[in-house]
A and B are shown apart, each in its own frame.
Chain A
Amino acid sequence: MRTTKLAFVAAAASLLAGCYPSERAPNWPVTQRQEPFKQLDAAMRHSAPPVADAVTFERIVRARSEPHNWLTYYGAYDGHRFSSLRQINTDNVARLRPAWTFQAVPIGIIPKHSEFTLEAAPIVVDGVMFLAGWDGYVWALDAATGEELWRYRHAIPLDTPLCCGNVNRGVAVARGKVFYSTPNGHLLALDARTGEPVWTKIWVDVRAGESSTMAPLIVKNMVIVGSSGAEYGVRGHIDAFDIDTGQRIWRRYGVPKPGEPGSETWGNEEAWQRGGGSAWITGSYDPALDLLYWNTSNPSPDFDGSPRPGDNLYTDSVLALDPNTGEIRWHYQFTPHDVWDYSGVNENILFEEGGRKLLAHFDKNGYLFVLDRQTGARVRIVRFYDRANWGRIDPATGAVSDRREPTREGIEICPGPAGAKEWPHATYSQQTGLLYTPVVDACATFRKFPMPFREGLSWHGGDFKVDRAQVHGGAVKAYRPDGTLVWEWRSRHPIVASLLSTAGGLVFVGTPDGIFIALDARSGRQVWQFRTGSGIHSNPVTYSVNGTQYIAVPTGAGGWMKGFSPELLGHERGGTLFAFSLADAASAGAQSSAGSPR
């Protein structure tokens, strides 16, 4: 008995001993201090010239009058992605050479290493370039030399729900500030001279599966943003904030509540709560009509329509919004009751035809829609992807027939969930009067199966697979606005970079295996190429500094490659912005000297 008692006491004593840490940190004096990582670069100036102070809404409205700048996401509010610069043209493009590069390689651990990429449209204001990268980075660069002027990096949690890559499409600049929305949904107003935050507003709910990837848009005294996350069963929204204070002015949900207009298109009383309809691409704006055109993405869940019978407004739609209130003036839905993930978020190109104000939109579903942008009336519908077999849209009525929907066993449907055109943008050349669109020629095997919804987790209601044999390549197609095909340029891989047209008679296009190409805008003939070494999935822009025209293209493969180019998943990927100029124009004279002889 005594032995038992002793054993018990010994065991208790040893357990108690384990309750206290055996070692404590020594009480040494504090001698070491921290530094921001950027301080280690002694050459960095940490300041940019105050070029953004004079950028106003009125100046962005007249952006076409200053072609040396790229003042807003599409270059101007009209969504054309066209520049009247012509120093680089069809006669001399063979002499286009890299003037400088800016490398942005991730250091340490970031969420979703495999799918990071530079997707931004750099904004250029009077010789300063403002660029956003993945994982919270914003840079100010000297647009003539590539020198880093300042850097801001927001810390992004590793568990941020990013459906389709760690990407960001850029910033907006006005009134001395750079506006940037982080992947975890903090809208930041940074001082454009220093990169220091002026105000911060949290506007998306990461716990609900929301995130942010688009470039903000300045309209009047507002900065306007749209949410990401329709793969997570969110309720997408577009928000407007006061440019000076960050106070929210309005929010417009992509899915109406019961009782609101459009709610009758949801044949399940709970479906609206997680109906998707996010708004992850920047809108266009018509200052004369004072209408904002902002589009919405797919309904949730993506591939199983049974939890949400009906047309599911306002998913896959263009919303013509009153920018002062966020009210919907009219809408047009491109894919009613979508079960293919054909997010209708692609750009709206605003143009005139016979005095009529129109809007052109190349949709993921493979059809070009031309609408009256005052009323939303259908003007014409043209199929631009011949292989499209998900359904048939009657050009006269807009009605969809012959729907081919995902099955439990799996069925091949074209295009795949990347669409016949992914988010990267078409362009409208004011010189040729033609519309040019990038094309993804890939099908997929779609399956659907019931999937319970859990907040914050992805909710597809099925899945898809793109086999190599289902990837048929890509194209750039040139159309007259009346829907006549003028030329087609074919590529080995799908085209997932935005196009850029210039008054030099050129259309620029990047490929997902890293070749940057110039095409003759009139004939589609390839006239120049440069191998960048990393895939292109971004928005090239053009601008000029001190009389030298530059073409800038961010590179870096990634961002949901499994959806459009699974054949390139093992391809090399980096993250470099290339700025090109004519070999004799830049003359490297703009480069500052890195040293001097003794």
Chain B
Amino acid sequence: MRSWRLAGALGLSAALLVLSACEYAGLFRPSVLGQVDPEMATLMNELPNLDEPNEAIIGRIYATGGASRAELGSDGIMRDRIRIPKDEYLWYPAVIIMPRGGTLELDITNEDHRLHAIFAASNGDRQIMSLPAATRGVIRVQLDQPGYYWFGCPVENHLGRGMLGLVLVKGEVPPEARLDRPPQPQAGNRRPPRAHH
């Protein structure tokens, strides 16, 4: 009996070790569990049903659009891939995170059997790329400031049905643009104070 318990404990530890490499394990961190709001959990459960009439939008963006961190290449360009799945009216992922301002290259595959396009914010002018059914294209945008920007599909009312995405640019303004003053109180508990310029 004792050996079974030992094996069980070892097996559980091994499983947890493996699991810790994936995102699910992170959900059980105290810092995440501490934020679970019963009302939010209810919302998450109900969202996919709430928008059932048009089988799109809120629940899907919220629950399955996902977020992705663009990878910084050796050439200084940040890259990511986006899929447009069949019959979903969705970018997957719908949130692209850039570690800093610069050039973002999006490699987009339209797996849907209808025309889509991407209309994306970029310095100089907005960029547009047409994506006929079952095609793949590459688009580059220049975004130079911390903050978030949107991209969307301008075909028919695809934007309204769920094809809305965001590019989140992390980082700070350059030191010379900062105000000459000591670090200031920040909103929220987890936001670290900004370094003093």
Residues on A facing B (Cβ under 8 Å) = 1, 5, 8-9, 12, 15-16, 18-20, 23, 25-26, 28-38, 40, 107-109, 151-160, 184-186, 196-197, 200, 202-208, 210, 233-235, 237, 248, 253, 257, 272-274, 452-457
Contacts and interface: CB of A to CB of B under 8 A. Distances in A.
Contacts of A197: 123-124
A184 B22 CA distance: 38
21 contacts: A12-B15, A12-B18, A16-B18, A25-B109, A30-B137, A31-B136, A34-B138, A37-B128, A154-B123, A157-B148, A157-B149, A158-B147, A159-B148, A203-B177, A204-B177, A205-B177, A205-B178, A206-B145, A207-B194, A274-B184, A453-B185
A206 B137 contact: no
Contacts of B11: 8-9
B126 A36 contact: yes
B146 A207 contact: yes
Nearest to B181: A273
A39 B121 CA distance: 15
B96 interface: no
Given A157-B147, A203-B177, A1 B126 contact: no
A235 B134 contact: no
Given A207-B194, A455-B185, A186 B147 contact: no
Q: Which 4 A-B pairs have the closest CB atoms?
A: A157-B147, A32-B137, A19-B22, A155-B121
A109 B126 contact: no
A19 B147 contact: no
Interface string B175-186: 011111110111
B124 A153 contact: yes
Contacts of A28: 109, 134-136
A29 B128 CA distance: 19
Classify chain B's interface size: 35 or more
B142 A155 contact: yes
Nearest to B152: A108
A29 B136 contact: yes
- Max chain A Cβ within 10 angstroms of own Cβ: one of B129, B147, B159, B179: B179
B123 A202 contact: no
A157 to B, nearest CB: 2
Given A19-B22, A34-B137, A109 B184 contact: no
B138 A30 contact: yes
A35 B128 contact: yes
A582 to B, nearest CB: 36
B147 A34 contact: no
A232 B24 CA distance: 39
A15 B174 contact: no
B135 A36 contact: no
Contacts of A155: 121-123, 126, 141-145, 149
B56 interface: no
Contacts of A237: 179
Interface in B162-196: 164, 169, 172-174, 176-182, 184-187, 194
Contacts of B177: 185, 202-205
A208 B178 contact: yes
B21 to A, nearest CB: 7
A152 B124 CA distance: 5
Contacts of B121: 155-156
Given A25-B111, A157-B146, A206-B147, 4 more contacts: A31-B137, A107-B126, A206-B173, A454-B184
Interface of B: 4, 8, 11-12, 15, 18-19, 21-24, 81, 83, 85, 107-109, 111, 119, 121-132, 134-150, 152, 154, 159, 164, 169, 172-174, 176-182, 184-187, 194
A272 B179 CA distance: 12
A34 B178 contact: no
Contacts of A35: 127-129
Contacts of A205: 173, 177-179
Contact of A16 (B19, B125, B137): B19
Contacts of B147: 157-160, 184, 206
Given A207-B173, A454-B186, A32 B128 contact: no
A553 to B, nearest CB: 26
B8 A18 contact: no
A202 B173 contact: yes
- Max chain B Cβ within 10 angstroms of own Cβ: one of A26, A37, A210, A456: A37
B83 A457 contact: no
A15 B14 CA distance: 13
A23 B172 CA distance: 35
B194 A455 contact: yes
A454 B23 CA distance: 32
Contacts of B123: 153-155, 197
A251 to B, nearest CB: 8
B197 to A, nearest CB: 9
- Max chain A Cβ within 10 angstroms of own Cβ: one of B8, B21, B127, B145: B145
A175 B174 CA distance: 27
Contacts of A156: 121
A152 B126 CA distance: 10
Contacts of A457: 187
A235 B124 contact: no
Nearest to B187: A454
A213 B178 CA distance: 18
A204 B129 CA distance: 33
Given A32-B137, A37-B127, A235-B180, A186 B145 contact: yes
A406 B176 CA distance: 37
Contacts of B107: 30
A207 B193 CA distance: 12
A151 B125 contact: yes
